[in-house]
Amino acid sequence: MIRQKCEVLSSRSSGIYHTVTLVAPEIAERARPGQFVEIAVPEGRDFLLRRPFSIHEASRRGGWAGTLEIAFYAAGPGTSWLTEVQPHDFLDIIGPLGKPFPYPRNLTNCLLVGGGYGAAPLYFLAKELNARRKRVDMVVGARTQDRVFKPVEAKRLSVSIAITTEDGSLGDRGRVTDVLPGMVSRTNAEVVYACGPNPMLRAVAEYCRDHGVPCQVAVEELMGCGLGVCWTCVVPVVRRDGSGWDNMRTCVDGPVLNGARIWWEKWFRGPTVPTQTPPHGFTLEGVGGETWHEGG
């Protein structure tokens, strides 16, 4: 983990989303897809805690070496202030934080599934997988056309792509999970990576679990500190040997987790109380015996 005063290189709108590119050579060098940074808010604001942002891009080579980019939707005061930064401003950054996506050691066909701006880390992941000569296919979706995150860039990075919107304004009408079975079949997907809203992640993870496809998900949970101290971002995860479960902190034990091991019913408490024993099938470390390179 590194703390840096990072200069803003650019700040621009991309549809309803906003991207900020920072000069952060030390963080960019260590960054891996799925990790995040924590940005300190300006002095004099009513909110005090740093804000977490997934790393959308990190350049470690070429003309833009030493930069990283975040993408976000300004949903409240904790993010709206960041749209006001200008080139040559400086931001107090801590990162890279969290566990990254592991790269498959032997499998080659990778399907990346993203919803809304939550898909941002997948573009970094796609580039890294391409560099490792893995096949990349993508599914990206959102409620409406203006919320689909960089569909043109997704087409450039993938062999094939499916786009969905709930209102049918772009691509197929429906949700990413509606086209998931067809994409898994057509692309011969051997592993699925997913980023987006947690209900979407649950649906993707459960489909993959039921069909024997390894699945890695980057979960979304409120982070108070981002450093593993406050325990506000825990997710129930079943142990590898199935002997029980533990509350895992998404900021240090995640945000990337094995989708088959998350106890979704206990995490998403509904109107009924879940059972206190993980259901059958949640004792797997992975599906199909795949081993991983941890973040490179």
Same domain, 131 and 231: yes
Any idea what the Cα angle at residue 273 is, between residues 269 and 275, rounded to 5°?
105
Same domain, 157 and 171: yes
- What confidence score (pLDDT) does residue 273 get? 40
Across the strands, what pairs with 255? Answer: 99
- What confidence score (pLDDT) does residue 170 get? 96
Place of tokens 């904790």: 78
- What confidence score (pLDDT) does residue 229 get? 84
**Residue 73: CATH number of its domain:** 2.40.30.10
d(CA 221, CA 270): 17
Report whether 58 contacts 26 (CB < 8 A): no
With a cut of 70, which residues of the chain have pLDDT below it? 44-48, 61-64, 269-296
Same domain, 137 and 80: no
Same domain, 191 and 278: yes
Element (H, E) at 205: helix 198-210
- What confidence score (pLDDT) does residue 221 get? 80
- Domain tally for the chain? 2
CA atoms lying within 13 Å on the CB side of residue 261: 26
Residues 6 or more apart in contact with residue 156 via CB below 8 angstroms: none
Same domain, 27 and 113: no
- What confidence score (pLDDT) does residue 271 get? 39
Same domain, 33 and 173: no
**Residue 264: CATH number of its domain:** 3.40.50.80
Closest of 97, 45, 136, 60 to residue 256, by C-alpha: 97
d(CA 247, CA 31): 25
Closest of 205, 209, 185 to residue 195, by C-alpha: 205
- What confidence score (pLDDT) does residue 198 get? 92
Same domain, 173 and 221: yes
Across the strands, what pairs with 36? Answer: 54, 97
Same domain, 164 and 217: yes
Same domain, 160 and 63: no
Same domain, 73 and 218: no
Pairing of strands 109-115, 191-195: parallel
Element (H, E) at 139: strand 135-142
Q: Which domain holds residue 55?
A: 2-97
* Helix, strand, coil abundance in the chain, percent, nearest 5: 25, 35, 45
- What confidence score (pLDDT) does residue 23 get? 95
Same domain, 128 and 86: no
The string of pLDDT tens digits covering residues 224-254 is 777 878 888 899 999 888 888 999 999 999 9
Same domain, 76 and 122: no
